A and B are shown apart, each in its own frame.
Chain A
Amino acid sequence: MDKKMIPLTHLSQNKKARIIGLDGGHGFQRKLRVMGIRENQIVTIVSRQPFRGPLTVTVGGCQMTMGRGMANKILVEEI
């Protein structure tokens, strides 16, 4: 149970991770949650655009693109 908590941006492309927590304001967290980015959901990274461009991730059967600033506020643990 001693797994490391890392921001989603640090997850490698072919690894799965579990969402542990969300940072940021209430409104921001809500915005993520209603799109299915919630605690205990499994997340994988589909693509990373170069030069600090956005990430595309899969969560619960949906894919979404988000900026790195957002992804940094999503805390995950590798599984």
Chain B
Amino acid sequence: MKKIVLMGNPNVGKSVVFSRLTGANVIASNYPGTTVDFSKGKMRVDGKHVEIIDAPGTYSLEPSNKAEEVAAKMLKEADVVINVVDTTNLERNLYLTLELLEQNIPVIIALNIWDEAKHLGIHIDEKQLEKLLEVPVVPTVALTGEGIKVLVSKIKKARSNDKIQPTSDEGRWIEIGSIIKKVENVEHRHHTIRDRISDLTIRPITGLPIAIGIIFLAFWVVRFIGENLIGYVFEPIFEELYRPVITELSNILGDGFIHNLLIGTYGVEIDFVESMGMLTTGLFVPIGMVLPYIIAFYFMLSILEDTGYMPRLATLVDNIFHKLGMHGHGIIPMFLGLGCNVPGALSTRTLETRKQRFISATLLAIAVPCMAQTAMVFGILGPYGIYYIGLVFLTLATLYIVMGLILNKFIKGESPEIFLEIPSYRRPSVKAVLKKTWMRVRWFLKEAIPFLFIGVLIINILYSVGFLQWLGTVLAPVMEGMFGLPGEASISLAIGFLRKDLAVGMLLPLGMSGLQLIIAATMLTIYFPCVATFAVLVKELGVKDMIKSTAIMIATAVIVGFILRVILLGV
């Protein structure tokens, strides 16, 4: 036995079972040639290490989307399948079980969410089920760990069932009907408080206000975690441990091109935010400033997912997002993007079709400011009052919708209707949430950091050789003529390739009026994503689509800048 694969319907607690079975050595991977992600780890069976894979949730082995296709492919590599079943919903879950048993692969069944089934008055005779299916059946409660030890001890008893032969859909449902009759006994159940909460959170009148509340709360928690991680963990590490090392390196290198590239201007005290060197700003910004927020955002997202709230949110916002060419899940890249566009860009792959991913990525880059940008907009426009700040965000929100409508019309491809299960609310497992967060952060480090570093290197070289400054000068007349901004604003725009928030800061000494600042800040947000996001998007969309997307961004920035100029400053 080398490979165990966890198979089951979506929302049956498969990932919680996975986190119970595995140690710390878990990674999220991308299935080659697809945008489907899955997790894998190691576990011990009889003292031997075995690879264990958490396949994407699927309702059937006859796939109806990419994720299910991947699940079906993984099954072929499996030596043993652990079929995780939602006991509260045995009938539907048994369809996949029967399909699995038709294959010639050893199967063991985990009747998960066993406690809740009992609570709901659903009684399953697991011994009888075991007899009927002729494979081991183990009741489990992955959340508390109940039954997991038994499950592990019985893995080697997993077996295939030769009597169950491939049959038609109809045949399977008849079989399931007769099994259910023999093993399931359901008491009448009342509408519980949880059902009522579930209804309230999905009906538009009550659901939308609750959704707004939850999103605000989520952001508050993210800020709290992010700020504390920076203040108590990341900044001390950089200041106390890293600064002496880098200062020493600065002395060794001495003045010159290499010093400028790696550390920044020679002779001035190193400032991790502003020195602009590869090893100073290039390292501090992604790790010291962005990573803490990414950890916080992924943590929050994992909680929202594991409680079962996400499908409800997707239902509530589907209407809007569908008109913008995506569906309800389009809110996830936006939510993450408001923290940092990089994980936002990485999460566009949760959308199904190329069209949906393209629209969601382009809108993200154009109209979703990250936390650092938002802070800077508040900083420079704050003195002029809330209306000035409001105008920037209003413009961006309008743009998100208008551009979405336009892109939906002109981008070829499909945007299928939403179709998803609304699972019952569940208490999230701390262990599973932490593990999920950890896997995602690890994935982020692997996927994003190398690209980010290369991007910073290129921009730094362009800056060091004076290319960006040259570009700024060339663009200066355009700035003045077209957007009513001082020519020097173009330099800040050029710097914006590297760091958007810093570029906003560079607008300050130019002595612009509040209205000019609105134009500049808005354009700066729209015209191009930061280099890290850009790098990730190239990878997610491919070079060809990214060129298209970039053209759209720049064109939008020019048009919006010009319109704002006409409205705010007159012709």
Contacts and interface: CB of A to CB of B under 8 A. Distances in A.
B64 to A, nearest CB: 4
A53 B319 contact: yes
A52 B319 contact: yes
Contact of A35 (B198, B316, B322, B421): B421
- Interface-centre pick from B88, B198, B204 (highest chain A CB count, 10 A): B204
B169 A33 contact: yes
Interface string A15-47: 000000000000100110111101000000011
Contacts of B115: none
B415 to A, nearest CB: 10
Contact of B418 (A33, A35, A54): A54
Interface string B56-89: 0001101010000000000000000000000011
B89 A64 contact: no
A53 to B, nearest CB: 3
B206 to A, nearest CB: 10
A32 to B, nearest CB: 8
Contacts of A34: 59-60, 92, 95-96
A27 B64 contact: yes
B410 interface: no
Contacts of B64: 27, 30-31
A30 B96 CA distance: 13
B166 to A, nearest CB: 15
Given A34-B60, A35-B59, A61 B318 contact: no
Nearest to B201: A47
A31 B95 CA distance: 12
A54 B203 CA distance: 11
B420 A46 contact: no
Interface residues of A, number: 29
A3 B436 CA distance: 50
B173 interface: yes
Given A64-B419, A66-B419, A54 B319 contact: yes
Contacts of A67: 318, 322, 417-419
Contacts of B316: 49
Given A30-B64, A35-B59, A65 B314 contact: yes
A34 B93 CA distance: 9
A52 B323 CA distance: 11
A56 to B, nearest CB: 5
Interface string B193-233: 00000110011100100000000000000000000000000
B414 to A, nearest CB: 12
- Interface-centre pick from B328, B419, B420, B421 (highest chain A CB count, 10 A): B419
Interface string B410-436: 000000011111100000000000000
Given A65-B422, A66-B417, A70-B419, A51 B319 contact: yes
Interface residues of B, number: 32
Contacts of A46: 199, 202-203
B499 to A, nearest CB: 39
A44 to B, nearest CB: 11
Contacts of A60: 89, 91-92
A53 B199 contact: no
A62 interface: yes
Contact of A64 (B95, B203, B421): B421
B486 interface: no
Given A65-B420, A65-B422, A49 B92 contact: no
- Interface-centre pick from A38, A46, A63, A65 (highest chain B CB count, 10 A): A65
A49 B417 contact: no
Given A30-B62, A54-B417, A47 B173 contact: no
B318 A49 contact: yes
Interface string B273-314: 000000000000000000000000000000000000001001
Contact of B202 (A38, A50, A56, A69): A56
Contact of A61 (B88, B203, B420): B88
A36 B92 contact: yes
A19 B64 CA distance: 22
A62 B417 contact: no
B356 interface: no
Contact of A30 (B88, B169, B203): B169
B92 A64 contact: no
- Interface-centre pick from A51, A63, A66 (highest chain B CB count, 10 A): A63
Nearest to A61: B89
A76 B62 CA distance: 26
Contacts of B207: 47
A53 B316 CA distance: 8
A65 B311 contact: yes
Contacts of A54: 315, 318-319, 328, 417-418
B121 to A, nearest CB: 11
6 contacts: A31-B419, A46-B199, A53-B318, A65-B202, A65-B419, A67-B417
Q: Which 7 residue pairs spanning A and B have beta carbons closest together?
A: A67-B417, A53-B319, A63-B422, A34-B59, A34-B60, A36-B92, A65-B315
Interface of B: 59-60, 62, 64, 88-89, 91-92, 95-96, 169, 173, 198-199, 202-204, 207, 311, 314-316, 318-319, 322, 328, 417-422
Given A47-B204, A60-B92, 17 more contacts: A33-B169, A33-B173, A35-B59, A36-B92, A47-B199, A47-B207, A49-B204, A51-B319, A53-B204, A54-B318, A56-B422, A62-B422, A63-B198, A65-B314, A65-B315, A65-B418, A67-B322
